[in-house]
Structure 1
Amino acid sequence: MALHQNFPDSPYVILDPEIRWFPADEALRETSADKLMPPLVPELRKQVKAWRDDGYAKATETSRSLLNWWFKTPHLLPKSDGTMAEFQYYFAQREALETIVYLVDVVRVKDKYDLMRFAGNAPVTPSMFDETWRRFVVKMATGAGKTKVMSLVLAWSYFHKLYEPESTLSRNFLVITPNIIVLDRIYKDFQGLRIFFEDPVLPDNGVDGQNWRDDFQLTLHVQDEVRITHPAGNIFLTNIHRVYSGEDIPPSPDDEDTMDYFLGKRPTGATTDSKVDLGMIVRDIDELMVLNDEAHHIHDNRLAWFKSIEDIHNRLRQKGDALSLQVDVTATPKHNSGAIFVQTVSDYPLVEAISQNVVKHPVLPDAASRARLVEKQSAKYTEKYADYINLGVVEWRKAYAEHEKLGKKAILFVMTDDTKNCDDVAEFLEGNYPDLKGAVLVIHTKNNGEISEATSGKNKEELEKLRQQANDIDSLDSPWKAIVSVLMLKEGWDVRNVTTIVGLRAYAAQSNILPEQTLGRGLRKMYPGSVEEYVSVVGTDAFMEFVESIQAEGVVLERKPMGEGTGPKTPLVVEIDNANEKKDIEALDIEIPVMTPRVYREYKNLADLDVGTLGTGKVTYQSFSEEEQREIVFKDITTGAVTHTTILDTAGIADYRSVIGYFAQTVMKDLRLVSGYDVLYGKIKAFVQDQLFDRKVELEDPNTLRNLSELAATKTLVETFKKAINALTVRNKGDAEIRDSIKLRQTRPFVAKDQGYLVPKKSIFNKIIGDSHFELLFAGFLEGCDDVVSYAKNYLAVHFKLDYVNADGDISNYYPDFMVKLSAKEIFIVETKGQEDLDVPLKMARLRQWCEDINRLQPEVKYGFVYVDQESFDRYRPASFSKLVEGFTEYRQGVAAH
């Protein structure tokens, strides 16, 4: 489930759909991606990519001008020091805009039935769409720039309606937020239309013959100040509770009986009231687009939120019009059941955002360290969780000292389960840690995560001040260094300086909306650029289990060099060279049969696993001091590497059962085992006790548990069990059949990173891009071979791959390097290698088997293979391809032969 090996570090690089993350093993990408992803996304990514590569063909002139301006035109913006810096939108932002434009301009989507065309084999039905109007959902990780996407969608709709005679879009916009906290954040960007002029949203006057800046005439109305001044050109920025349009709409289940300032009472319907009925407003306008921030709230058609938008749409319908478009942006577009919104058209998941350093990397204690954090037997909340709170403060102090050197203030963020315990933790922090005296901000929230007037006992003025203090906490002028809260503003509180999160509550919602958003409050980065930043996470088992679930969803990444000099690279387009009149595309084409898989996983009872046959790891058993045994070891969740250790005086003796259980859960998650925990637990316990180390050990000994924090012990244990389970369950069917074929000329254009390439004469492609310098040398050799009719690099876009069992015993995919056509009746598959690894003999044995299967099933075309190592190639320099086949090593059952 790790990210593809070619997934780029830069968030600005165009992402090929073939390398996007999805929550399963690579072997399942083609067969199961549509079942594990938002159902519309896989196909939409492919079609939008092809459309992008085609220069936005069939888009309106307005759309094409804007897309080229936003994403293909260099933008230099002034910095605070007077210099200029290049600005680029993230690819995730670009893909979201391109997808929306593609659906409106090219596909001309009008309703759910048009959207369902992109579902492929996914079981999507009309009943999954509650709305009867055009609605798109954009899924973007917290911190990836959802507000910028909203600004681009708004500007595009405005100009589209203004400049395109047949446009079905709008120049009036209803921007809805779930609470005042989010509204404040949006207002900072929209006030004075700041975001549209400070970001390169508006093209310069004269671009493609339009006066963009002069024509962008919009009025911003906020909350109760909503007044219609023009029939078009209005932004209505409002809290959702101002949108409720009548007593016939039922209240949200999240609402309380007492509505405070932040929620406001449901409007009575008159525009003279302090709460405005937008149903009244839309009677006076003929067009409207809805933009929803944090739109996961619209997860049930019984909610007042959904009913209000439906009511607005119906009022427009009575006038012969309709809601032009609804665009929802959120990191968690999920129903209460955990199922994702079927309307999701674009997806930038958290795993990709972490990989590209768009957000912070979560860092958590390892298993042995967590086991030493004991919940005390006490009715008093702070006594019960004293270990967790203390560790959080220790971590925060170290971060505070480091960031202070850079003129930044680190923030400690503690979540509790109710307001009473919230006050208890705040009092504990101020009473026991001098550096937090007078520096703890307490915010009481309701069950839906919004600030509560009732539970805090504060009046309107005090709450206004509290809201301002929460928003300004990053500033060095703010006295607050820690925030303690119930739920902690589960959306909208988007400060950047949180370096330590302490979660002291259970997270049981099936959708995981709450914990993902809570973690999201600490993910926004403090510093610009691609520098890696971290947030330390401590908490209850339930909270930590959620954080670790991110790792199970693919965040298993190594660090990459970044910083100055590693800016975005210009992509290369590789495509079929149809424009080259000197090439006979049909003659250069190569056809490769596609076989059914040979290897599969047969799940058996783990009781069949014989620990006695696993061998002894003989990891050196070290002796640690009492102080070292109390170390809390923090590891980067993306790499597993130790980032730092902390000595915690209050740390008790860990329970070995928790540590063994953690390893059992890790193995099960990595192999996607759904049962057998109890059996696996016993196997791992016996292995640790008798075979892992160079001696038998006592599990109760604190020194043993400290040894289990060492990388050698952890890696040996996990990899040994994964390999043994793979050996028990991975099977070869013994036969295969041809199910399809790949014709190279049907390969869609794709974008590659900027690198060396060869312009070929004997290939159907316009460029041969090598993954290494040797591949380019070999391509040049094939160009000069008189006995070669054509050849091609096996790009990922070709989709030619073989399933095989790798050196770890797991099922994996093998992509051969080249396909070489000697005649219409003879084709060779070539593997090139600069340096051989453990998997090479296994891959060659599989390729040999594939050739035998193909030649047996269809004798018309002979398929052969050859392995070319760089050392031998440099030494012998064959004069032709036939000489290469004669003289070079072919792998037969893993044994070299000439």
Structure 2
Amino acid sequence: MALHPEFPSSPHAILAPEIRWFPADEAMRETTSDKLMPPLVAMLRRKVQEFRDSDYVGASATSASLLRWWFKTEHLLPQADGTTAAFEYYFAQREAIETIVYLMDVVGFQDKHDLMRFDSSGIVSGGMFDETWRRLVVKMATGAGKTKVMSLALAWSYFHRLYEEDSQMSRNFLVIAPNIIVLDRIYKDFQGLRIFHEDPVLPDNGFDGHYWRDDFQLTLHLQDEVRVTQSTGNIFLTNIHRVYDNNTPDPSPDDDDTMDYFLGKRPTGETTDSKVDLGVIVRDIDELMVLNDEAHHIHDNKLAWFKSIEDIHNRLVQKDGRLALQVDVTATPKHNNGAIFVQTISDYPLVEAISQNVVKHPVLPDAASRTRLSEKQSSRFTEKYADYLDLGVIEWRSAYEEHEKLGKKAILFVMVDDTKNCDEVADYLSANYPDLASDDAVLTIHTKSNGEISEATSGKKKEELEELRKIANNVDDPLNPCKAIVSVLMLKEGWDVRNVTTIVGLRAYSAKSNILPEQTLGRGLRKMYPGDTEEYVSVIGTNAFMEFVEGIQAEGVELERKAMGEGTKPKTPLVVEVDNENEKKDVDALDIEIPVLTPRLRREYKNLADMKTSGLGNKPVEYKSFSEEEQREIVFKDITTDEITHTTILDTAGIADWRSVIGYFTQTVMRELRLVSGYEVLYAKVKAFVRDELFGKTVDLEDPNTLRNLSELAATKTVINAMKNAVNELTITESGDAEIRSTIKLRETRPFVTKDQAYMLPKKSVFNRIVGDSHLELQFAAFLEDCDDVVSYAKNYFAVHFKLDYVNADGNISNYYPDFIVRLKDGRILIVETKGQEDLDVPPKMARLKQWCDDVNQVANGAKYDFVFVDQESFEKYEPKSCQDLLDGFTEYK
């Protein structure tokens, strides 16, 4: 059940259906894979792939615009340090929303029969669908970003209803959380519509002719604050326990008041203090979409929550409407008997998420480690399981020390079987381990028998709920005193703490608990660090517990087994740090200081107003005559990939808005040049260039034929390249001189995590590891270790912050990080660039590095700086013996 050998490591890579995981040997892929996956998923993956490859043919104009914005447009988001960074949705998130759009727009999904046509198993029947409304289930591994899918689905529904005539979608949304913890997490993302503005959910105003940001008018109503003040534009965010009341009898025709019998029982729910009547909500609105988070509790149509949704749908039907759509997102959409929800339309399983480092890797003790664990013959719970608790603390401590270097706090999570033992374990940890003895270092949580904490609690349980709510929001904070959590069973869903590094299970699970292994591991799967670094969660427990956890292997997860206990390596990402603890190193003697000069390059945005739109050196584009039919669809393609990025459809009168086209060109130029301001000025320049210069004559922008000409690749390429060159020539200026602004000392570099890859342990570097991004880098580091004329050296990691601004081959300002910094015995500092294969940016980088060395040698008193370019072919051919050999022979870019 291993992953396909061509399965990509990047979570952003498009996953072809033929390489997706399925629960059988690879040899069975052609014959049985479709029948071993959720019944609708296999065929839908292929159909959605065709839909994606066709550039969303069949989708409404609104849907196609949104999908191209989300997944085919580069997004640069501002960072805390004032820079920008590229943002890209995971493919799992993309596939989920693409599948929803495909079913609604292309298939015209109306009922269960429209879904049954995608059955690959041959066993799906109408009786498997309990609901009478449209419901789709998205299966995504814990930590894969289900909330982002919800935000995309919500925005898509809103704009579809707003912009598409006869749309069946909604601009009102009921977002249901299974408990107060999930509610708080969603509220954090949705408050002030934060996720919609911080993520690139909303297209720029003017994109494809709509003012998306201006038109996105929504009000968030939280729990008891629900107040319908407008018929559309509402998000009702509520806990499932506030939707229904389990204690009231079902309505009867014999009741004095028969309204509930005929209209459905009003789904109210007793909470800590109050109730919410969703019947009031649906009487005041005519459209509604339901988004159900952590939805693995939805397996029983007898549950009150199901009746409540049914009631909402029935009320809308009575007003000649219907529930627009219900979208459920969960990692484990399974019935009590293990059967998957038949409505599941997309699937990103845990095995794929682990492979792509979207979540942590579960690690179990190896056989040798497990033989050292035994259950003692004792009536005291903590004496009986002392070995397991001790190993858990040892593993947690080693992880704690490593993560503390990075400003993070590791959390130990212990699962027990009842409240008495929960308290006993907490007392044991506090009494026997000094680092857990402080006040509030150990938190106890008493859950119900099925792992859930109900909001309908009182007394001590109510206090525990409030404590849990607070812990769930800030336990990852290094200032929070909590280091260990002891819980009865486990927190079944929504506990999204990222810092759990060690899980100790001291009880047996069974199918009767309705808890799955993935739900157990899920509380420790979320990653602590962004990026593609590998992270781990150590899982320790009794034989019965470990057998339960190992059941996750049925889902394709290959559990790693490693030595645990005293003297073993911590199960943490690869940490690079200054090697202060190494007694064999004199870190001060190995340190290298690097001057930081003032930037030579900068953009003067005010100069945009001075930009000329004539005489830019472009060849005039031929102005063609198109028929009236050819003028209907205006298609814009990416100048590098030839993919469609922008489409404008003329209306029946033959009149299109040329302003959105000019806006598209302007936004493309700004995005590619990383411009953060000046849109209005640049828009006017692009308009003037298109009108007067592009075609070698002045054209009428109102003419549909002009718009059709602008969609030709030659025109698009000419406009964007001419404007980029003009902007760069005008706005990029050199200071002409350089001053020393500060100094970088390598020994002051903060610890950081890096991708787990090949490394060497250096003797001549302040760092504990030299991690090679290529084999050449490790070769070169080994060479420096053996050079007699080298005193010290270091890999120039990003965390060092030594970078040079330069103008790249595309004419844009970019940052360049040289590979190595070397100090020679004669005091010189050598900056080294290693390269396996040259690219177009090598010459401008080397020219900038030479300039930097000249600048620093003029203004710095002390060490002299030089540089060298080491190409792999020459390095292996001539086998230099010293750095002086490099300086003498590797002079290609001097």
**Interval of TM-score (by shorter of Structure 1 and Structure 2):** 0.5 to 0.7
- Rounded Cα–Cα distance in structure 2 between residues aligned with 1:226 and 1:374: 54
- Asked whether the equivalents of residues 369 and 631 of structure 1 are also in contact (C-alpha less than 8 Å), the reply is no
- Rounded Cα–Cα distance in structure 1 between residues aligned with 2:249 and 2:341: 23
User: Given the superposition, is the C-alpha separation of residues 453 and 9 from structure 1 closer, same or farther in structure 2, using an over 3 Å criterion?
Assistant: closer
Alignment correspondent of 1:498: 500
Alignment correspondent of 1:8: 8
CA-to-partner distance for each residue in 1:17-50, whole Å, 9 max, x for gaps? Answer: 0000000011221222232210000000000001
Alignment correspondent of 1:414: 414
Alignment correspondent of 2:286: 286
CA-to-partner distance for each residue in 1:255-309, whole Å, 9 max, x for gaps? Answer: xxxxxxxxxxx975899x9211102210111000000001111101111111111
Matched, 1:36 2:22: no
Cα displacement (A) at 1:466: 4.1
Alignment correspondent of 1:554: 556
Alignment correspondent of 1:221: 221
Alignment correspondent of 1:312: 312
Cα displacement (A) at 1:340: 0.5
Matched, 1:137 2:131: no
CA-to-partner distance for each residue in 1:312-336, whole Å, 9 max, x for gaps? Answer: 1111111111111000000000000
Alignment correspondent of 2:120: 120
Alignment correspondent of 1:384: 384
Cα displacement (A) at 1:632: 9.2
The one-letter amino acid of 2:417's match is: D
* Equivalent in 465, 468, 471 of residue 469 of structure 1: 471
For 1:599-610, list aligned pairs within 5 A.
none
User: Given the superposition, is the C-alpha separation of residues 249 and 96 from structure 1 closer, same or farther in structure 2, using an over 3 Å criterion?
Assistant: farther
- Asked whether the equivalents of residues 136 and 328 of structure 1 are also in contact (C-alpha less than 8 Å), the reply is yes
Alignment correspondent of 2:634: none
- Asked whether the equivalents of residues 365 and 564 of structure 2 are also in contact (C-alpha less than 8 Å), the reply is no
CA-atom RMSD in angstroms: 2.9
Alignment correspondent of 1:886: none
Cα displacement (A) at 1:408: 0.4
- Rounded Cα–Cα distance in structure 2 between residues aligned with 1:249 and 1:91: 46
The one-letter amino acid of 2:501's match is: T
* Equivalent in 533, 543, 564 of residue 545 of structure 2: 543
Alignment correspondent of 1:73: 73
The one-letter amino acid of 2:162's match is: L
Matched, 1:93 2:103: no
CA-to-partner distance for each residue in 1:116-138, whole Å, 9 max, x for gaps? Answer: 00003430011111001100000
The one-letter amino acid of 1:415's match is: M
- Rounded Cα–Cα distance in structure 2 between residues aligned with 1:201 and 1:630: 46
- Rounded Cα–Cα distance in structure 1 between residues aligned with 2:109 and 2:185: 32
The one-letter amino acid of 1:275's match is: K
- Asked whether the equivalents of residues 399 and 572 of structure 2 are also in contact (C-alpha less than 8 Å), the reply is no
Cα displacement (A) at 1:555: 3.2
Alignment correspondent of 1:824: none
User: Given the superposition, is the C-alpha separation of residues 119 and 248 from structure 1 closer, same or farther in structure 2, using an over 3 Å criterion?
Assistant: farther
The one-letter amino acid of 1:444's match is: H
* Equivalent in 479, 482, 485 of residue 480 of structure 1: 482
- Rounded Cα–Cα distance in structure 1 between residues aligned with 2:422 and 2:349: 32
CA-to-partner distance for each residue in 1:189-211, whole Å, 9 max, x for gaps? Answer: 00011000000000000000000
User: Given the superposition, is the C-alpha separation of residues 499 and 249 from structure 1 closer, same or farther in structure 2, using an over 3 Å criterion?
Assistant: farther
Alignment correspondent of 1:326: 326
- Asked whether the equivalents of residues 296 and 330 of structure 2 are also in contact (C-alpha less than 8 Å), the reply is yes
Structure 1: 5+ residue runs without aligned partners? Answer: 252-265, 560-627, 639-753, 756-898
For 1:614-653, list aligned pairs within 5 A.
none
User: Given the superposition, is the C-alpha separation of residues 344 and 454 from structure 1 closer, same or farther in structure 2, using an over 3 Å criterion?
Assistant: closer
TM-score, normalised to structure 2, is 0.60
The one-letter amino acid of 1:468's match is: K
- Rounded Cα–Cα distance in structure 2 between residues aligned with 1:422 and 1:108: 52
Cα displacement (A) at 1:537: 0.7
Alignment correspondent of 2:21: 21
User: Given the superposition, is the C-alpha separation of residues 553 and 489 from structure 1 closer, same or farther in structure 2, using an over 3 Å criterion?
Assistant: closer
- Rounded Cα–Cα distance in structure 2 between residues aligned with 1:217 and 1:332: 33
Aligned to 2:521, the other structure's residue is in SS state helix
Alignment correspondent of 1:111: 111
Alignment correspondent of 1:530: 532
- Rounded Cα–Cα distance in structure 1 between residues aligned with 2:185 and 2:518: 20
The one-letter amino acid of 1:472's match is: N
The one-letter amino acid of 1:546's match is: F
Alignment correspondent of 1:171: 171
Aligned to 1:295, the other structure's residue is in SS state coil
- Asked whether the equivalents of residues 393 and 412 of structure 1 are also in contact (C-alpha less than 8 Å), the reply is yes
Cα displacement (A) at 1:550: 3.2
The one-letter amino acid of 1:464's match is: E
Cα displacement (A) at 1:450: 3.1
Aligned to 1:347, the other structure's residue is in SS state strand
Structure 2: 5+ residue runs without aligned partners? Answer: 252-265, 574-639, 642-894
User: Given the superposition, is the C-alpha separation of residues 146 and 201 from structure 1 closer, same or farther in structure 2, using an over 3 Å criterion?
Assistant: same
Matched, 1:189 2:202: no
TM-score, normalised to structure 1, is 0.59
What is the identity percentage for the equivalent residue pairs of Structure 1 and Structure 2?
77
For 1:822-837, list aligned pairs within 5 A.
none
Aligned to 1:192, the other structure's residue is in SS state helix
The one-letter amino acid of 1:524's match is: R
The one-letter amino acid of 1:528's match is: P
Cα displacement (A) at 1:512: 6.4
- Rounded Cα–Cα distance in structure 2 between residues aligned with 1:518 and 1:142: 11
- Asked whether the equivalents of residues 517 and 551 of structure 2 are also in contact (C-alpha less than 8 Å), the reply is no
Matched, 1:509 2:514: no
Alignment correspondent of 1:243: 243
CA-to-partner distance for each residue in 1:496-535, whole Å, 9 max, x for gaps? Answer: 1111011111111269634321211101000010011111
The one-letter amino acid of 1:211's match is: Y
The one-letter amino acid of 2:472's match is: A
Cα displacement (A) at 1:372: 2.5
For 1:641-790, list aligned pairs within 5 A.
none
User: Given the superposition, is the C-alpha separation of residues 630 and 481 from structure 1 closer, same or farther in structure 2, using an over 3 Å criterion?
Assistant: closer
Alignment correspondent of 2:402: 402
Alignment correspondent of 2:684: none
User: Given the superposition, is the C-alpha separation of residues 423 and 455 from structure 1 closer, same or farther in structure 2, using an over 3 Å criterion?
Assistant: farther
Alignment correspondent of 1:447: 449
Aligned to 1:505, the other structure's residue is in SS state coil
CA-to-partner distance for each residue in 1:209-265, whole Å, 9 max, x for gaps? Answer: 0000000000000001101010010000000111117866779xxxxxxxxxxxxxx
The one-letter amino acid of 2:324's match is: S
- Rounded Cα–Cα distance in structure 2 between residues aligned with 1:634 and 1:442: 29
Cα displacement (A) at 1:384: 1.3
- Rounded Cα–Cα distance in structure 2 between residues aligned with 1:369 and 1:270: 49
- Rounded Cα–Cα distance in structure 1 between residues aligned with 2:565 and 2:463: 47
- Asked whether the equivalents of residues 338 and 511 of structure 1 are also in contact (C-alpha less than 8 Å), the reply is no
CA-to-partner distance for each residue in 1:60-119, whole Å, 9 max, x for gaps? Answer: 000000000000100001112221110000000000000000000000111111100000
- Rounded Cα–Cα distance in structure 1 between residues aligned with 2:445 and 2:121: 47
- Asked whether the equivalents of residues 537 and 571 of structure 2 are also in contact (C-alpha less than 8 Å), the reply is no
For 1:785-796, list aligned pairs within 5 A.
none
- Rounded Cα–Cα distance in structure 1 between residues aligned with 2:307 and 2:127: 17
Cα displacement (A) at 1:366: 1.3
- Asked whether the equivalents of residues 34 and 122 of structure 1 are also in contact (C-alpha less than 8 Å), the reply is no
Alignment correspondent of 1:84: 84
Bigger drift between 111-120 and 348-357 goes to: 111-120
- Rounded Cα–Cα distance in structure 1 between residues aligned with 2:184 and 2:481: 21
- Rounded Cα–Cα distance in structure 2 between residues aligned with 1:557 and 1:418: 28
Alignment correspondent of 2:748: none
User: Given the superposition, is the C-alpha separation of residues 454 and 235 from structure 1 closer, same or farther in structure 2, using an over 3 Å criterion?
Assistant: closer
- Rounded Cα–Cα distance in structure 1 between residues aligned with 2:457 and 2:429: 21
- Asked whether the equivalents of residues 409 and 474 of structure 1 are also in contact (C-alpha less than 8 Å), the reply is yes
Alignment correspondent of 1:787: none
Cα displacement (A) at 1:349: 0.1
The one-letter amino acid of 1:282's match is: V
User: Given the superposition, is the C-alpha separation of residues 268 and 298 from structure 1 closer, same or farther in structure 2, using an over 3 Å criterion?
Assistant: closer
- Rounded Cα–Cα distance in structure 2 between residues aligned with 1:541 and 1:212: 56
- Asked whether the equivalents of residues 369 and 632 of structure 1 are also in contact (C-alpha less than 8 Å), the reply is no
Cα displacement (A) at 1:166: 1.2
CA-to-partner distance for each residue in 1:742-789, whole Å, 9 max, x for gaps? Answer: xxxxxxxxxxxx99xxxxxxxxxxxxxxxxxxxxxxxxxxxxxxxxxx
- Rounded Cα–Cα distance in structure 1 between residues aligned with 2:353 and 2:296: 19
The one-letter amino acid of 2:128's match is: M
